């Protein structure tokens, strides 16, 4: 073989052997070196390229391992026949790289209900726990953990649930997984035998998408929460419900409906209530609403919650609490599955909770969200009675209804064109409901406090809603 000139850059970050290997591989693929050609000896090539023999040896070794060349003992190395790859005109056309502008928010103001405040996360503390964990003493966490999740985290969750939600459970009843969306199918698999699931209408839109919509029974929601009478008249045996703060209306399930619902569940062995307590940490008026699970005497409530609102959606940590009677079937079905949350993340969170940082964080965030909530509702009251608010005093979103003669979709488009994202309630309906006025969800978690007022003014302005002369009562602290 004539000596091919390989351009080797001695100062490159890429090691010389890799440059040589790549150059030769390319030459073989493109047939610049023909099949059957004998390669120069390692010494000769090393001398010619003015590099060490070891460099050539590693490059040849790699080509040999990948089958580009073959070795004939005591004779040398020969170029192998390589099947041609399909012709690709332009290397860059192989993979279409779409330029995704990372982190660019298309809207000036985004009222998405799933957004949280990102200004107040205790990064330094979280980093300290992460740093402490990623060290040799934690080497055991390199192995796969318990399917239900790390015991230490389940213990912290059990303590937290007892203190803040009145739930008595032990860590053995808790299952940790990477989000409500992954846990719900597990719960359904556990209790679902020819089951029909009832869902709140309007309700959390992820649920019907996760579940087979055709099997779901929509149940109306009013100012007292789920209409249990309506549930009684269906053949559903499982109900998914957000009793502490109905998503998205914000209604709290009344005491009468709570007992009614628990009694409904107690009437048949295959009836269950899935209680989603997704944002109960944030209540700005009165006492926290106790969990339904705490009232249940018949092991009918499967309690489900998440750290998505209370800490961050990207952590992907949620959990459910099983009634003891379901533990055996859980273990039979799911002991072969590994936990879906990395062990290190689970321990960071467990240590963060154990040292009291989670409660401190919640107290801080409650104040921040309360301020945003108050700023939002106060700003909106200057458009009162034109714009009405429901579902306030809790969580991270409210509902507003506007007296306009346009469809929700048209109004959404108008807002979007003005750089504001709002979310029509019709996006959360399983069965259509005729609302008297167009109604929207306004999530305030991700809007900066000082942006709340200008955002609402801009929104009302683009919709042509004027400020009313009467000022509503202010309750900003």
Residues that bind ligand PLP (CB under 6 A): 114, 179-181, 204, 242, 247, 276, 278, 306, 308, 313, 318
Of 308 and 346, the one with the shorter C-beta distance to ligand PLP is 308
Min separation Cβ 110 and ligand PLP, Å: 14
Residue 27 or residue 184: which is nearer to ligand PLP going by CB? Answer: 184
Task: Please state the closest distance from residue 299 (CB atom) to ligand PLP, in A.
Answer: 23
Report in angstroms how near the CB of residue 328 gets to ligand PLP at its nearest: 26
Answer positive or negative: Cα dihedral of 112, 442, 376, 460. positive
Nearest-approach distance from CB 14 to ligand PLP, in angstroms: 42
Burial class (CB in 10 A: 0-12, 13-18, 19+), 420: buried
Nearest-angstrom CA–CA distance, 157 and 315: 15
Q: CB-wise, 40 or 443, nearer to ligand PLP?
A: 443
Mark out the alpha helices in 95-179 (DSSP H runs): 123-133, 151-165
Residue with smallest beta-carbon separation from ligand PLP: 179
Interior/surface letters 381-413, b for 16+ CB within 10 angstroms, e for the rest: bbbbebbbbebbbbbbbbbbbbebeeebeebbe
The sign one gets for the Cα dihedral 329, 331, 334, 339 is positive
Strand-pair category, 225-226 with 216-222: antiparallel
3-class SS of residue 113: coil
CB of 274 to ligand PLP, least distance (A): 11
Could you tell me the smallest distance in angstroms from the CB atom of residue 345 to ligand PLP? Answer: 14
Q: Any residues with CB less than 8 A from the CB of 156 and at least 6 apart, and which?
A: 349, 350, 353, 354, 358
């Amino acid at each position: 073989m004539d000596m091919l000139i390989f351009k080797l850059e001695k100062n490159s970050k890429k090691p010389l052997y890799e440059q040589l290997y790549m150059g030769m591989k390319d030459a073989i693929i493109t047939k610049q070196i023909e099949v059957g050609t004998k390669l120069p000896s390692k010494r000769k090539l090393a001398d010619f390229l003015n590099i060490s023999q070891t460099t050539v040896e590693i490059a040849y070794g790699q080509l040999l391992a990948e089958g580009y060349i073959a070795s004939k003992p005591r004779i040398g190395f020969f170029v192998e026949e390589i099947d041609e790859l399909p012709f690709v005109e332009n290397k860059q056309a192989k993979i279409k790289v779409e330029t995704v502008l990372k982190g660019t928010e298309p809207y000036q103001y985004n009222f998405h209900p799933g957004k949280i405040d990102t200004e107040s996360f205790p990064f330094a503390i979280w980093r300290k726990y992460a740093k402490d964990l990623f060290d040799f003493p934690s080497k055991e966490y390199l192995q796969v953990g318990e399917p239900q999740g790390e015991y230490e985290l389940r213990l912290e969750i059990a303590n937290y649930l007892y203190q803040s939600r009145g739930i008595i459970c032990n860590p053995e009843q808790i299952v940790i997984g990477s989000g409500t969306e992954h846990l719900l199918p597990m719960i359904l698999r556990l209790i679902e035998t020819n089951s029909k699931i009832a869902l709140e209408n309007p309700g959390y839109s992820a649920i019907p998408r996760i579940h087979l919509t055709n099997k779901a029974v929509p149940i109306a929601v009013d100012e007292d929460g789920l209409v249990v009478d309506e549930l009684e008249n269906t053949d559903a045996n499982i109900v998914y419900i957000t009793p502490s703060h109905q998503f998205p209306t914000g209604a709290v399930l009344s005491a009468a409906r709570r007992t009614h619902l628990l009694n409904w569940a107690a009437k048949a062995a295959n009836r269950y209530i899935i209680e989603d307590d997704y944002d109960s940490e944030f209540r700005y008026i009165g006492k926290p609403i106790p969990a339904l699970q705490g009232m249940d005497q018949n092991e009918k409530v499967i309690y489900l919650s998440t750290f998505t609102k209370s800490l961050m959606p990207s952590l992907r940590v949620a959990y459910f609490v099983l009634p003891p009677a379901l533990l055996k079937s859980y273990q039979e079905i799911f002991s072969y599955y590994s936990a879906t949350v990395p062990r290190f993340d689970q321990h960071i969170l467990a240590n963060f909770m154990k040292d009291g940082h989670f409660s401190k964080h919640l107290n801080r965030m409650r104040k921040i969200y309360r301020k945003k909530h108050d700023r939002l509702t106060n700003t909106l009251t200057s458009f009162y009675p034109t714009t009405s608010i429901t579902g306030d005093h809790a969580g991270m979103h409210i509902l507003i209804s506007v007296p306009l003669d346009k469809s929700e979709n048209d109004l959404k488009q108008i807002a979007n064109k003005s750089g504001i994202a709002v979310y029509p309630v019709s996006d959360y309906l399983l069965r259509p409901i005729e609302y008297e006025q167009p109604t929207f969800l306004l999530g305030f978690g991700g809007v900066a406090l000082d942006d709340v007022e200008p955002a609402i003014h801009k929104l009302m302005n683009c919709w042509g809603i004027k400020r009313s002369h009467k000022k509503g009562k202010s309750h900003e602290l």
